[in-house]
Structure 1
């Protein structure tokens, strides 16, 4: 469990850092709702922006536990019992933890600029807008990390942070949608075999399409980043599994690919 928690914390902290930077560039500000055990980590993130908090609306809401000490000046902090009744306006990022998180996801993701990160035991789930990845330990124990958003740019950011985390011993990623359940090491240059198979299957459904369309598919339907699609397709072309037009040069978003 320690390895799972370390990866969850690293991903959450990295994304919260990017989210906070954007919130401070916006007049709407933002609210972070912590329903797990990462409130102290959130305070450390906000502390890195202490020189920019004055004059901005940035709030931390801690649900179900006491607010830790050490809030930087300019950050609004409060405790709450129910995340569904906070009276928040503007962008909201919520972290939900545990199996009891699932009934809350729809309520907390509802509204423009509302996003949710869920950390929970692996099991049945459905993500309509976002990304789900299993964190699998050496003993086979799996935890689920889910990011729910309607903003594709934020999804790109989350996936960039997902693959940029430190590689913790014994934890690998698995795409819940991968029928073969291949485990992939955490790396900035990950193994692309599961993605390659997914792209070939998508080409089987589409017939042919542009690289850009497959990059969009990669963003929405896999645990990978859009740029990973280029590497997976390049290797598939080299292996003769995929045709391309034009036949020469590097793959670009406009290149049309198909099955032989």
Structure 2
């Protein structure tokens, strides 16, 4: 349940950052929650409640689609939530049994406007979403990332959630917007700490677990940056982008780790003096400089 709570909270925060800039689209906007296995009803309700918060900002149609096999009871539950919240007519909620996700989007007239999607690994991501939040088994990040990239979502992030009772889940995120990726990373670490749930960077070779915190333990990022610098020299900007797109960390975390590595003498900089700006080149201590 704790992992589900983290996943649900991440979705709500994605809605909060995505909705304000997309509810004015001339052809309407849409949210798709799709699974080839089944939908978590608590998460579906949380999505409706989160979007309902923006009801007074609707200038067009906002369509919420919940598509999965075995949706018994979900339509009635979400209809009750709509009555409770008095959601505006422009917010349409549809529960559709089945797995033909693209056809459902097209039939609902929601394929041409901005789309936020939450899917699992059973869903073929062949629709054009602006943002995708996905869930999948731990240990599958490279496969899931490849699917996001093939869908045109060139900016990605993945994190594994690990619970005390050995439950594990991969959360992935894909977007075309650097601003959206930065926002997701910020929300990832801003979550309230959930008892028994920790993060793991799917690309950390040592698989260390990290508490959810605004100031995450930098050990995994330190190791990954040193491995990266073992391949070549990179500018501070390049290392910050690597942290953002290839690790669980934020760009600002990379800046702090680079400062620490410089103080420890593990890396060197060119030029040696002055502000640590984005164009400063970082190399392993003792390594020949390169581009």
Please state how far the C-alpha of 1:148 moved relative to its aligned partner: 2.3
Within 5 Å, give how 1:149-160 maps onto structure 2. 149-160=175-186
Query: Higher mean Cα deviation, 56-65 or 247-256?
Result: 247-256
Matches within 5 A, 1:79-158: 79-81=95-97, 82=99, 83-86=101-104, 87=106, 88-96=111-119, 101-108=120-127, 111=128, 113-125=129-141, 126=143, 127-128=145-146, 129=149, 130-158=156-184
Query: Please, which of 59, 64, 69 is the counterpart of residue 60 of structure 1?
Result: 64
Large movers: runs of 4+ above 4 Å: none
Q: Which runs of 5+ in 2 are unaligned?
A: 150-155, 286-291
CA separation of 1:161 and 1:25: change in aligned 2, threshold 3 A: farther
Which of 54, 76, 84 is the equivalent residue of 1:49? 54
Match of residue 217 from structure 1: 242
How far, CA to CA, are the matches of 1:221 and 1:140 in structure 2? 25
Contact 1:132 1:144 in 2 (8 A): yes
Q: Which moved more, 1:65-74 or 1:41-50?
A: 65-74
- 1:225–1:26 Cα change, 3 Å: farther
Of the structure 1 ranges 42-51 and 168-177, higher mean CA displacement relative to structure 2 is found in: 42-51
Match of 1:167 in 2: 193
Structure 1 alignment gaps of length 5 or more: none
Answer with 1 or 2: which has the greater Rg: 2
- After TM superposition, give the deviation of residue 24 of structure 1 in Å: 2.1
Which string of whole-angstrom CA distances, capped at 9 and with x for unpartnered residues, describes residues 73-111 of structure 1?
021222223323120222211212xxxx32424324xx3
Cα distance between partner residues in 2 of 1:28 and 1:189: 41
Give yes or no for contact 1:31–1:61 (8 Å, CA) kept in 2.
yes
CA apart distance, 1:212: 0.4
Task: Please say if residues 105 and 116 of structure 1, whose CA atoms lie closer than 8 Å, have aligned partners that are also in contact.
Answer: no
Alignment-derived partner of residue 281 in structure 2 = 256
| Distance in structure 2 (CA, Å) of the matches to 1:227 and 1:25 | 32
CA contact (8 A) 2:32 2:67 kept: yes
Aligned partners of 1:200, 1:165: CA distance in 2, in Å? 28
Q: Tell me, what secondary structure is at the counterpart of 1:77? A: strand
Given the alignment of the two structures, is residue 244 of structure 1 paired with residue 269 of structure 2, yes or no? yes
1:178 CA drift (Å): 0.8
Q: CA RMSD in A?
A: 1.8
The answer to whether the 8 Å contact 1:135/1:173 transfers is yes
Give the corresponding residue for 1:228. 253
Counting matched residue pairs gives 250
Question: Distance between the aligned counterparts of 2:26 and 2:225, measured in 1?
Answer: 40
Q: Secondary structure at the match of 1:84?
A: helix
